[in-house]
Structure 1
């Protein structure tokens, strides 16, 4: 069992982590990415999806592939793909309470953007619990699981990796965190592509439900 009282910094992914993978929020973003690729290259939807997936697989994000191979402007892209309706995201009071009970500071680390993260966090009702959002722009557009932005995150925020926890829905994104000495938590979801690496040693804990897992930590630490 993880000793929450020994942790100074909690690092959370955003998409499919602070909200369930079964929701369609990330699917909306993915749809906007497809639309962007369609418009950029004058492709039909099927061809655009094929290119989108290929770039994601080879570069870690579609954006990184578009920037490296096609010179796409990152800011323009992020503004377009995150222009989605989030009005149906309901506050999650239980999650907010569980996060609020954790000792230490909390940071979001996302391959998305700060505005997107803040909108989602505001709807969920957890925004005030987080010290900062380390986004893809802060990472110089280099996505997880490239280890370089993890180093930037640790340095910028003065994080002691041995007293830090990282929570992610994509198991492979935990490898660099574990290599730095962080305790890792994989949030198991319904997406097959997020399971890559789930059986590796760099996954230290597995949670089926974030709120329940965090609440369990709080109860255990209070004993």
Structure 2
């Protein structure tokens, strides 16, 4: 399938966190800690209660932020600025991934449940920002997260993506199901997390441990 995948693809749609860099960098650990801090400070509860609430909101609403918005009236802009104020030092430059992206025909875009500002910081740190033609973030999605289907339609319209000629790359298996339903070819990059592995099924067309090697191999 490698040759048709390469030649038939017009747009490559990439998730950001734990997809374009390895989950072993543990950036999301920092983000989760910031979420707990925000909940604790905003609601005036202790660490244990904040951690439990964060988990419940994620399970009930798909993202902690959506739950905080709906259940507690949190300002999403303030929340995003707070939780994405993290140390990117664990991220190394990714020249091999950059070379693989440069060699791909077609457009490359980012589709993330994070913010544009966070995506820009991460891409700059990795040294691959110049390879992407657009970023569709949680703000553009009206704060509706993947894997709800609405953001996929909105992303495709905003970035002019034909799903039938697109490949989507993600670390969360469940986020690839709507992509497959729209006609995208899907690539799952397992990060070793339980929540990333939830929702596996035949909607996953490729499972990739090393994204750069996979993209290079399409030659």
In structure 2, the residue corresponding to 1:87 is in which secondary structure?
coil
1:112-131 correspondence runs (5 A) = 112-131=114-133
The number of equivalent residue pairs is 217
Query: How far apart are residue 22 of structure 1 and its match?
Result: 1.2
In 1, distance between residues paired with 2:34 and 2:41? 11
Query: How far apart are residue 114 of structure 1 and its match?
Result: 0.4
1:129-208 correspondence runs (5 A) = 129-198=131-200, 200-208=201-209
CA root-mean-square deviation: 0.9
In 2, distance between residues paired with 1:29 and 1:196? 20
Kept in 1: contact 2:25–2:91 (CA 8 A): no
Task: Show the counterpart of 1:212.
Answer: 213
Unpaired segments of 5 or more residues in structure 1? none
Task: Show the counterpart of 2:104.
Answer: 102
In 1, distance between residues paired with 2:87 and 2:161? 34
Q: Deviations over 1:152-173 (max 9, x none)?
A: 0111122111100000000000
In 1, distance between residues paired with 2:140 and 2:155? 9
In 2, distance between residues paired with 1:206 and 1:9? 19
Kept in 1: contact 2:101–2:215 (CA 8 A): yes
Unpaired segments of 5 or more residues in structure 2? none
Query: How far apart are residue 88 of structure 1 and its match?
Result: 3.6
Task: Show the counterpart of 1:90.
Answer: 92
Task: Show the counterpart of 1:76.
Answer: 78
In 1, distance between residues paired with 2:173 and 2:109? 18
What is the TM-score with the length of structure 1 in the denominator?
0.95
